[in-house]
Amino acid sequence: MDFAISDELLGTIVPIVVYWIYSGIYVCLGSFENYRLHSKTDEDEKNLVSKQTVVKGVLLQQSVQAVVAILLFTLSGSDAGASAQQSSSFITLVRQFVTAMVVLDTWQYFLHRYMHENKFLYRHVHSLHHRLVVPYAFGALYNHPVEGLLGDTVGGALSFLLSGMSPRTSIFFFSFATIKTVDDHCGLMLPGNPFHIFFRNNSAYHDIHHQLYGTKYNFSQPFFVMWDRILGTYMPYSLEKRTEGGFEARPTKEFKDD
C-alpha cells in the first residue's frame, strides 16, 4: 500500500477517532453546570433514546460510512497518487477549505430542510436524530443510516471533489468538520470557545433547532448561517442565565409566539 492510499484511509479513519476523543472531552466538561444549555436532569429525562442506543447507532453509521468511503476511493482513485504528491500554497489550501465548507453547508441545509418538510422522511428517517431533545456531544452523528449516507457521506464526497483538495488535505478538513459538528451538539457554552467566536452557527444556535418551537428554523449546519438568513428560516435568540445555573437559548418573542 503506497502513501497516497494511506492518506485516503486516514481521511476515513482519523475523523472517526477524533469524534470519540472530542466527545469524551465534552462528556468530562459536562459536569460544569454553569456552562450547560440544559440541566443534567433535563438531558436524562427529556431525551427519548438511551445513551447506549446512541453509541450503537453512531458506531453503525460510522462503519457504513467508512466502508462506502473506502469503496469509493478504491473505485475512483486512479489519480490519487498524483494529487497526494502536489504541494499547495497556503492561499490554495484556504480556498479549498472555504469551498468545501460552503459546498457541505449548502448540501446539508437543503437535505436537512427537506427531511423536515417531507413528512414521510421526517417520520421514518430524520426523527431519529430529534429523539435527542437535549443534544450532547457523542449524539452529534446519531442519525438514521440513510440520512448519514446522504448527508455526511455524499455531502463529504461533494465537498472533497468540488474543492479539489488532496486526500491528505481532506484528513484535516473532515477532522475539522467532525469537531465542529460535535461542538454544535455539545450543549455547552464555554467561555473563549473559538467556534463561538468565529461562527454564528454554534451549540446555542443548533439547540434552538432541537426544541419543538425551532424545528422549522435554523437548518444550517455545520459552519455558516447564510442559507437560513437568505431563505427566511433563521430564528434569532438570546442567551440568558438560568436561576439554577447555566444558560438557556430563548427565541425572540415574535418567534416564540408564532
**Angle between helices 155-163 and 167-184 in degrees, nearest 10:** 140
Which of these, 178, 175, 163, lies nearest to 83 by C-alpha position? 163
Count of CB atoms situated within 10 Å of the CB of 120: 7
Stated pTM of the model: 0.90
Report helix, strand or coil for 237. Answer: strand
* DSSP structure class, residue 149: I
Q: How far is CA 15 from each of CA 46, 119, 170, 205, rounded to the nearest angstrom?
A: 29, 32, 10, 23
Q: Per-residue confidence of the chain (258 residues) as pLDDT tens digits?
A: 444 446 777 888 899 999 999 999 999 998 888 999 999 999 999 999 999 999 999 999 999 888 887 777 777 554 444 444 455 789 999 999 999 999 999 999 999 999 999 999 999 999 999 999 999 999 999 999 999 999 999 999 999 999 999 888 999 999 999 999 999 999 999 999 999 999 999 999 999 999 989 999 999 999 999 999 999 999 999 999 988 889 999 988 666 545
Q: How far is CA 240 from each of CA 147, 191, 204, 213, 252, rounded to the nearest angstrom?
A: 33, 14, 11, 17, 12
- Range list of H helices, the chain: 3-29, 40-46, 51-76, 80-85, 90-117, 119-124, 145-147, 155-163, 167-184, 194-198, 203-210, 226-231, 253-256
Burial class (CB in 10 A: 0-12, 13-18, 19+), 87: exposed
